[in-house]
């Protein structure tokens, strides 16, 4: 039985209400909040990953950053984001480079820097948590990403 919504006279119905919902919807139609990376442009995926990593860094940071530290932190966030997009979501380095306005060799350098820093157990735990978070967001529907 479809669920109907009657908007106020003269008001347009919200876009999410344009099609009636069915209680008998099948599980294959239910996806995560965000579409899988294969159906989104690489720029959008990279931007979302960067925002997730920024929020996670700010949650774990307990001190106010001065200008130099802020710049360094943003560089580390960008490097981690490039690494996660390439390793966890399997986006090509060329696409990641275009999304960040950088060359693919810069993406390769970022991946090497993050790999080298993963020798530190605390940093490795952080990057693993980021990878799990990003994978749970983009692959929640069971649909593989860029492969």
Neighbouring C-beta atoms of residue 139, cutoff 10 Å: 16
- In order of their start, the domains of the chain are 39-137 (1.10.1750.10)
**Does 18 score more than 50 pLDDT?**
no
Rounded Cα–Cα distance for residues 136 and 130 (Å): 10
pTM for this entry: 0.68
- Does the pLDDT of residue 145 top 90, yes or no? no
Distance CA 127, CA 101 (A): 23
Q: Give the pLDDT score at 29.
A: 40
Q: pLDDT tens-digit profile of 75-125? A: 999 999 999 999 999 999 999 999 999 999 999 999 999 999 999 999 999
Q: Which of 12-26, 53-67, 111-125 has the lowest mean pLDDT?
A: 12-26
- Predicted pLDDT at 42: 87
Query: Is residue 63 predicted with pLDDT exceeding 90?
Result: no
Report the distance separating Cα 9 and Cα 42, nearest Å.
Answer: 40
- Report residue 14's pLDDT band, with 50, 70 and 90 as the boundaries: very low
- SS3 per residue for 115-139: HHHCCCHHHHHHHHHHHHHHHHHHC
Q: What are phi and psi of 129, to 5 degrees?
A: -65, -40
């Amino acid at each position: 039985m479809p669920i109907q919504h009657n908007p106020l006279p003269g008001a347009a119905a919200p876009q999410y209400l344009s099609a009636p919902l069915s209680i008998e919807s099948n599980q294959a139609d239910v996806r995560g909040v965000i579409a899988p990376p294969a159906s989104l442009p690489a720029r959008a995926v990279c931007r979302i990953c960067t925002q997730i990593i920024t929020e996670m860094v700010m949650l774990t940071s307990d001190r106010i950053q001065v200008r130099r530290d802020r710049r360094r932190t943003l560089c580390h966030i960008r490097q981690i984001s490039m690494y996660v997009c390439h390793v966890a979501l399997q986006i090509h380095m060329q696409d990641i480079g275009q999304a960040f306005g950088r060359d693919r060799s810069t993406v390769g350098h970022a991946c090497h820097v993050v790999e080298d820093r993963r020798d530190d157990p605390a940093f490795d735990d952080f990057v693993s948590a980021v990878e799990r978070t990003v994978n749970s967001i983009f692959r929640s529907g069971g649909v593989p990403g860029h492969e």
